[in-house]
Structure 1
Amino acid sequence: MYISPDSITLFSQTVVACLLFILCISAIVFYCYGIYAAISFDHSSPVNPNFHPPVTILKPICGAESEAYKNLTSFCQQSYPDYQIVFSVRNPRDSGIAVVNKIIQDFPEVDIQLVVCDRIIGTNYKVSNLANAVNKAKHEILVIADSDIRVRRDYLQRVVQPLQCSKVGVVTCLYRSLAQGWVTTLEAIGVASDFHAGVLVSNRIDENKFAFGSTIAIRKHILNTIGGFPAIADYLADDFQLGYLSAQAGYKVVLSDCIVEHVLDSCSLKSAIQRQIRWARCIRVSRPWGYLGLLFTYGTVTSLLLLIVTNGSVLGWVTLTLTWMMRLIMGWVVGVKCLQDVCVKTYFLFIPLRDLIAFVIWCCGLFGNLIEWRGRQLRLGKNGKLIEITNNFAKVLSS
């Protein structure tokens, strides 16, 4: 039986159109559930004023961001009775040391220590900083937060609340971005309207099993149970691993109702793309099925492709209109109503553009294991382990 090339082409287009339509429907379902998850997220959990256990805040430092002083001092202004802050730096010539010394001088009433130690316990130098800092920790409850995080005065009081339950092992926080420059603004839009939507959906469907560098509150004995900082010293996503290993040990990972601020310094387009591809590849090797599953959430892209494949058909236009409408509604509900993110509120209509860029980055993340991080060339191994390749290359040259 003869089958004409036109028939084959038409059949292929139909199959592709059906697949794209299915992806659009799945994205719409995701957007709807993201809206529901954001609306049902509890922003007003009761605070027990009598629960305020002593806390040690660990702050790893590597260089000084443009607003480092303002970010770090926000942790020194807590309305909390008993807390300690331990800053940790590897390089004795690090520019962040001057900032920390000024903070110690400006806040003599706060228990602050600076640890300068070049001891390395793994490929992830940030974790080495934390391992050096924890030796000075006076208290059982540890709060870890990146140096580019800024918090309100009630931060500690709210973050520790879930730890009243002994089954809770880790508390983590969502964050909204304070971006400087159009490049980081696009990045901030994606984090607030897309990434956090996925987090809220995951939190609603099942308990989260991961944490974020924005905040990780953990008891010291639980940290020791999962192997301490050496257990995560070779992973790029150290924050993810702290939550994941705690969940594997039988403890709950709780998403706090406290939302912190993430200060994004201005950077070049190249640096931002490198950073996002690094994150993408890290997610892929850490959670491969979850990474592939993201394809079902890119409705902005798949609806546009459907419109092209169907040559501007009525179905294509209707699907694109509905998909983009639901995407924008989810972006507004999650980014503006839930997170109160200024970037999303101001540049709301740039969400589709950001989604198109994110899809390209997702495609780049599908392949390759090489990443660049703070001037170091690294390779991602199994489950997101970091393998130094710069030193290995130097050894080969010298041998």
Structure 2
Amino acid sequence: MSADSSWVDFRVVLASTGLIWYSGLWVIGIIGCREARKRYRLRPRSPLAAAPAASVPGVSILRPLKGLDTNLYENLESTFTQEYPKYELLLSVADENDQALPVARELISKYPNVNCRIIIGEEVVGVNPKVNNLIRSYREAAHDILWVIDSNVTVHSGTLARSVDALVGPPSPVPGKRRIALVHHVPFAVVTESKIGSRLEEAFLNTNHAKMYLAINTVAVDSCVMGKSNLYRRSDLERVNGSLKPLDLSNPTATRPEPCGLPAFGRFLAEDNMIAGALWHELGERHDLSCDVARNVVGNMTFSDYVWRRARWIRVRKHMVLAATLLEPFTESVVLSIICATSLRYLFGVPPWISICAHFALWIYVDLDVYASLAGHPLPAATRWQFAAAWAARELLALPIFLLAIFGSEVVWRGRAYRVLRNGEVARADKSRSWLQRFRQPKNYDPLDTEM
């Protein structure tokens, strides 16, 4: 066989592989779009909302607070108004002078019938400030079911009841089916200030991210969870430690000798993802999504904020799932359009401009359909062109941001610099070499030793 013939055969294989990869990504996108339509376009009221308090499991809602988040009053109020007969609300702040405290106290006065407490003071169990802030609330919670929800999130009044429905499951479970150990909610960005970074975040979270997030959780080959709003049982969490090594499930009371529970996850930056992974791999349980979204209120996010936020989580994922992270650029629309155009041109002689135009027309159509499903309405006409511009910019920026992020292991979070270690653990970065912290200090946060 001649060298020219071998080269032709190799190019055919390469082009065919490109089309197979491209088709596979479209299958994943369609799964995400279909799941969004199926799950979020109808949100029925849970029967638990009107049930007697004695007949439903109690829930402790844990909300960590730090400063005046955008829309803080409405975010917190959404948990005071949950249609559920048996819950308590624990608001955690690390500092007794925190600006969030007057807002919390005003809401407690407004809703005297809600069982709510403010817990002031952190307990340092690791480098993760959110975990440190939550430890006291975690230990003082009265109920086994915990709902951990960030302070920049607002939810529908029926979210808790529907989430407990999903966590507890049907009265007669299917034999052999794994128990639900965690219920989570898809983040949905709500823009209150029309900054470029805010618009980019909205375009990312409400389309491509949601589509892939839903598809991965529908296929459910592995854990994939964000921590904006999660429900799980403290009794389950007390049996895991983030090692991701399976427990001896033949012994239902088996535990690990190492520190377990929430304190064990203070060494991770992405503690939410690690908790979900531990429940999945160590206990052999699974996750579920309710038909609610976590409305993530995005405030004054600059372009730089957006870039470094995306870069931070790419660097964290790189140390947790390297192979999957390296494949990420080949799942983005721009790279996929090049793969498709090149393959179709070589195999079938299709002009690249035709395949590229068709690709992006279909891609944005699916993305907007996902947006409409999650929002409960189509994209508003008043923001149509702003959103389209942000969507295009987001797609074009995906590869440059990835390349910026992949060649580094230092991140800035809440005004502090960290080094990401193996398996997603983090350590405080040495100030003498923290060029990233000097290069870009996030707005509204001062690097104080007493910071959350």
2:74 pairs, out of 67, 70, 73, with 70
Alpha-carbon separation, structure 2, partners of 1:284 and 1:344: 36
The answer to whether structure 1 residue 191 and structure 2 residue 205 are counterparts is yes
Shift of 1:263: 0.4
Alpha-carbon separation, structure 2, partners of 1:52 and 1:391: 50
Aligned partner of 1:316 in structure 2 is 352
> Is residue 183–residue 232 contact of structure 2 (8 Å, CA) maintained in 1?
yes
Question: Are the structure 2 counterparts of residues 341 and 228 from structure 1 closer, same or farther at C-alpha, using a change threshold of 3 Å?
Answer: farther
Deviations 1:177-215 (A, max 9, x none): 111223211111111111111111112222652332221
Question: Are the structure 2 counterparts of residues 168 and 23 from structure 1 closer, same or farther at C-alpha, using a change threshold of 3 Å?
Answer: closer
The answer to whether structure 1 residue 242 and structure 2 residue 240 are counterparts is no
Alpha-carbon separation, structure 1, partners of 2:351 and 2:266: 51
**SS across alignment from 1:113:** strand
Question: Are the structure 2 counterparts of residues 108 and 66 from structure 1 closer, same or farther at C-alpha, using a change threshold of 3 Å?
Answer: same
Aligned partner of 1:155 in structure 2 is 159
Deviations 1:330-374 (A, max 9, x none): 202211124447768744533232111122222222221000011
The answer to whether structure 1 residue 116 and structure 2 residue 130 are counterparts is no
Deviations 1:79-116 (A, max 9, x none): 22121111111122221222222222222221111111
Q: Any unmatched runs of 5+ in structure 2? A: 174-178, 241-259, 435-452
**SS across alignment from 1:71:** helix
2:182 pairs, out of 170, 177, 182, with 170
> Is residue 23–residue 299 contact of structure 1 (8 Å, CA) maintained in 2?
no
Question: Are the structure 2 counterparts of residues 11 and 254 from structure 1 closer, same or farther at C-alpha, using a change threshold of 3 Å?
Answer: closer
> Is residue 64–residue 134 contact of structure 2 (8 Å, CA) maintained in 1?
yes
Question: Are the structure 2 counterparts of residues 41 and 328 from structure 1 closer, same or farther at C-alpha, using a change threshold of 3 Å?
Answer: same
Deviations 1:96-153 (A, max 9, x none): 2222222222222211111111321100010111112112211111100000010121
1:265 pairs, out of 285, 291, 299, with 299
Aligned partner of 1:105 in structure 2 is 109
Shift of 1:318: 2.3
Alpha-carbon separation, structure 2, partners of 1:209 and 1:302: 25
Amino acid at match of 2:403: C
Q: Once structures 1 and 2 are overlaid, which stretch shifts more, 62-71 or 340-349?
A: 340-349
Question: Are the structure 2 counterparts of residues 262 and 81 from structure 1 closer, same or farther at C-alpha, using a change threshold of 3 Å?
Answer: same
**SS across alignment from 1:259:** strand
The answer to whether structure 1 residue 349 and structure 2 residue 353 are counterparts is no
Shift of 1:255: 1.2
> Is residue 200–residue 306 contact of structure 2 (8 Å, CA) maintained in 1?
no
1:296 pairs, out of 330, 348, 363, with 330
Aligned partner of 1:91 in structure 2 is 95
Q: Once structures 1 and 2 are overlaid, which stretch shifts more, 172-181 or 145-154?
A: 172-181
The answer to whether structure 1 residue 327 and structure 2 residue 327 are counterparts is no
Shift of 1:217: 0.7
Residue-pair matches, total: 389
**SS across alignment from 1:379:** strand
> Is residue 188–residue 343 contact of structure 1 (8 Å, CA) maintained in 2?
no
Alpha-carbon separation, structure 1, partners of 2:327 and 2:376: 27
The answer to whether structure 1 residue 36 and structure 2 residue 38 are counterparts is no
> Is residue 185–residue 343 contact of structure 1 (8 Å, CA) maintained in 2?
no
Aligned partner of 2:236 in structure 1 is 222
**SS across alignment from 1:234:** coil
Aligned partner of 2:46 in structure 1 is 47
- Structure 1 length as normaliser, TM-score? 0.86
Cα RMSD (Å) of the superposition?
A: 3.2
Alpha-carbon separation, structure 2, partners of 1:317 and 1:12: 25
